[in-house]
Structure 1
Amino acid sequence: MNINKIKNLCLVSIALMFAACESTIDEQYLSNTTDVDGVELIATQSTVGGNEITLQMATPGITGYWDYNLGQALTDKLTFIYPIPGKSTFTYTGTLGAEFFTKTIDVQIDQLDHELDQDWYDLVGDDTVAGKTWVFDGSGGDNGLWWFMSAPGSTDNAWSLWWNAGGTCCPPSDVNGKMRFDLDGAANFTHYNDDSSDPESGGFVLDVANQMLMVSGAPLLGHDAGNADGVYEIVTLEEDKMVLYLSNSETYGTGWTFVFVPEAM
């Protein structure tokens, strides 16, 4: 056998070896198991028109989460007590397999026949539709602690006084204002800069589980402290007193503490 034949034989052997070792790649593509119309959302109420609601996404093979306006739940089935009378819309966001989708379902609540968490009554009053109005627990120059700079980072620092702005030299621009929370068809929030100003209307979310209060569309009383996203931590929420805390003011880079009491009638 000459040298050329030996070389050819070696080349053929190497080629066969690589062919035997080469893995086969199967390309797999995600595909939808159904379309949006095929996703079944179910809402049931434990009593006719009542506010204990169960939301369910009943289509197999779909995963996602519920946005029930009070928060989000990473589950296909959720039972909760809803605080707002009237028609409410709840949203399910999930994946069909190859693409994401959102779908909504409406529920009509005619009666609040299941009691809410006490925090709701403390915030909006026993007459949830009429609502409740809050004002600062003090006035400019009274040396009281009702709107002051505090240490940032945690509600543990809420009473660590760094600068008593409201009680000394520099109260907020809406020191004589007020704010109202009510559940008249929605979670409504209204800010009044003072008695002569037009109201600013928005909404709010009370996160009882995480002790957070979020306002949108209108500023919280004392917004001069600086808070772009409208999210406040709850230090105290009682019938006659509410203490909120801003953990990191984007204006000052500090914490800020707000003390409110119900408006005197």
Structure 2
Amino acid sequence: MIDHSIDRDPARPDVGHGHFRVDEKRWDSTFFGRQIGSLSWTELPADRKAGRTELGRIAELSDAAGYSLVECHVGMTDFTLISLLEDIGFRVVDSRVRFLTRWTLADVPVTTPLDGAIRWAVPSDRDRIVELTHEGFTDNDKFCSRFKNPDYFSAGDTRRYFEAWIDSTAFEADAASAVLEIDNEVRGYFIYQVRGEYEELPVVKGILTAVAPNSRGANGHLAMQAFLYHRLGLSDWFLDNTTQLTNTPVIRNHIRSSKRLDEIVLTLYRRPAA
């Protein structure tokens, strides 16, 4: 998977003040060819004026250290921090809504597509999966992502990022990937990864899925899910369905199907002051 971890190398310039610090995101910096950091905090200052002062100093330090972009993820429990971040130049660029729901294999029916068949994805499917990804995400104006924001990333950056997302997940050892094949052509794919545990059960995360427009509505999406569930080798697990606030049809469907809302997070970016 793409490694968005941060680098807490003590040899790097100290970008910390008060309750806040900025650390480098190593994978992002290398991939995009510029220094990208992540803002974090232990706890928020009790006094907003002190918090504003600390963040102002953090902005100065991160600019001086050469960061071209600093990212920040704010959960709803820290919602009041957003206005302070906006004061120093951060802007909301993305969102994350996570549903975490317990599943049992016995409750998953065997489902088949109305046309074609479901099979395991193999490396030779890679280019077609990338093509479907660009069609469904990269080139889809209705899909919002910070990595598609032209204020921060070029069109070439965006395409490379989504291809890297596929390459770092679809065929990894902890991944389970299926495709929908109709008339000897891959018309859809679904990628799951097992990522950690929750309440002593594995967490199965939905990574990406796409179905070609001419094959939608034929039960392919549900059939790929069921195919993978029955082949994960698990009897019970938690399913991580993460989407964006802008994806209201999917959120509405998750709520209707009794999935459990776990968290809502906003992502903000800041560039150096002009």
TM-score by length of 1: 0.26
Structure of larger gyration radius: 1
**The structure with more strand, counted as a fraction of residues:** 1
TM-score by length of 2: 0.25
